[in-house]
Structure 1
Amino acid sequence: MPKKLLDQLLVIDIEATCWQGVPPNGQENEIIEIGLVPLDLVTGQRLEKRSILVRPERSRVSEFCTELTTLTQEQVNAGITFAEACALLREVYRSRERIWASYGDYDRSIFERQCRERKVAYPFGTRHLNIKTLFALSYTLPSEIGLEAALHTMRLPLEGTHHRGDDDAWNSAAILAELLRRSREGRVEPLD
């Protein structure tokens, strides 16, 4: 088992094909964008914002999906395969050796499902941090809240376009960095 690196944490946000209602016959939700932000765990700095477009194999980008994400079929057609994207995460970002995080559990579950179904090696190690749950626990909330509401609660700006993988990863990393900073200082500010 590879040694865990604690220099950076990889914040991931995926966008997947989606429809208003059930998928058309023969289609399924699949990853079309992997947003990635390495977070320096010493400084709390977001080091990079990257969008990895993934060419879908079993679905098409619906009009609804384009309205939600701004991604078009033409854009994702120019992407790389899912297997290539997973290899890129492992080789360039050392994703097997680093903890990774996402805002919620959807990203982890769709990665696991798609890897299993496509027989592609899972690109991450066993440690996943759910920022959404961590946020709710830090603020002693009765339930988890969405990304925009969490940013508002922390008085952080929403940067970029919500429901774009790279921008949502960037914003999720801001929340995590602020939670870690406050934890180191021994405080979590109360809700107004």
Structure 2
Amino acid sequence: MATREQAMKLGCSEVLEVEKNVPSKYSEQIFNFLLVLDFEATCWNKNECSAPSEIIEFSVVLYDIKLCKILNQFQQYVMPFEYPKLSNFCTSLTGITQKQVDAGVPIGTCLLLFNNWLKDLYKKHKFVFDSKDADKKQCAFVTWSDWDLGICLRKECKRKNIPKSDVFNKWIDLRALYMEFYNRRPKGLEGALSEVGLKFVGKQHSGLDDAKNTAYLAGRMISEGVELRITKSISN
């Protein structure tokens, strides 16, 4: 008697029905990698100042969808020029000090440093942006709302006449997909994490911590069936 038949006769084995052709939620995704981005910018209390915001922290993490893991990170403090002195409100909210931004780099230099970091990632992980080639590993920027790339970076580069790479012109607004999929408006990033059973790790309004937590939220949303797609596209 075959070993399998003996085991079944003795009650040591059971037959499990496996549902076939069930696609993985991860394999259904268009993208292999996510560049999850978060900026912190100059800000003031209500009625204190109406000046445009300048980026003071530029943070991005590379998230591997299949591995559900952050592979690399970029963080750079940026020196504001239009209003170089941070408000007490800004420091209290973000935790970023005057000393950190004074030791930072201009936004143009920050973009060059980020571009060099991105080139190293291209070489290592072989991903592309916005390609129709299904054989290529796909990557997209992810933000929590359209503010970072749609307003903050775009307007600052325009005011300061700084060239901006086309890679920043398309992104996934994770907040928009969250509201669409769950049919509810979360109370910020922390609220969204809490609603799907996650806890915010680190300090809120720290650009790097916000980027990491947004990546973790993206991973949870994917596991629950959200299909990521580009939600916003702009011209320079």
Q: Taking structure 2 as the reference length, what is the TM-score of the superposition?
A: 0.69
Write the mapping of 1:76-87 to structure 2, written as runs, cut at 5 A. 76-87=101-112
CA distance in 2, matches of 1:169, 1:22: 29
Identify the residue that residue 148 of structure 2 maps to in structure 1.
Answer: 107
What's the CA shift for 1:22? 4.2
Identify the residue that residue 5 of structure 2 maps to in structure 1.
Answer: none
Do the aligned partners of residues 51 and 183 (structure 1) sit closer, same or farther apart at CA in structure 2, a change above 3 Å counting? Answer: same
Unmatched 5+ stretches in structure 2 = 1-29, 123-127, 130-138, 228-236
Q: Is residue 32–residue 76 contact of structure 1 (8 Å, CA) maintained in 2?
A: yes
Deviations 1:29-69 (A, max 9, x none): 10000121111132221123432101111112110101100
Identity over aligned residues, as a percent?
A: 28
Given candidates 3, 7, 12, the residue that maps to 2:37 is 12
Q: Is residue 33–residue 54 contact of structure 1 (8 Å, CA) maintained in 2?
A: yes
Secondary structure at the counterpart of residue 115 of structure 1: helix
Aligned length: 179
Write the mapping of 1:21-60 to structure 2, written as runs, cut at 5 A. 21-22=46-47, 24=49, 27-59=51-83, 60=85
Secondary structure at the counterpart of residue 33 of structure 2: strand
Given candidates 201, 218, 226, the residue that maps to 1:159 is 201
Deviations 1:129-154 (A, max 9, x none): 0011111112122x454101001001
Deviations 1:105-157 (A, max 9, x none): 1111111111111122223343210011111112122x454101001001111
Identify the residue that residue 138 of structure 1 maps to in structure 2.
Answer: 181
Q: Is residue 70–residue 164 contact of structure 1 (8 Å, CA) maintained in 2?
A: yes
Identify the residue that residue 116 of structure 1 maps to in structure 2.
Answer: 158
CA distance in 2, matches of 1:182, 1:43: 16
Coordinate RMSD, CA, aligned? 2.4
Do the aligned partners of residues 134 and 145 (structure 1) sit closer, same or farther apart at CA in structure 2, a change above 3 Å counting? Answer: farther
Q: Taking structure 1 as the reference length, what is the TM-score of the superposition?
A: 0.84
CA distance in 1, matches of 2:37, 2:157: 16
Q: Is residue 17–residue 65 contact of structure 1 (8 Å, CA) maintained in 2?
A: yes
Unmatched 5+ stretches in structure 1 = 186-192
Secondary structure at the counterpart of residue 52 of structure 2: coil
Do the aligned partners of residues 106 and 82 (structure 1) sit closer, same or farther apart at CA in structure 2, a change above 3 Å counting? Answer: same
CA distance in 2, matches of 1:11, 1:154: 19
Identify the residue that residue 75 of structure 1 maps to in structure 2.
Answer: 100
Secondary structure at the counterpart of residue 47 of structure 1: strand
Q: Is residue 35–residue 142 contact of structure 2 (8 Å, CA) maintained in 1?
A: yes
CA distance in 1, matches of 2:33, 2:81: 32
What's the CA shift for 1:178? 1.3
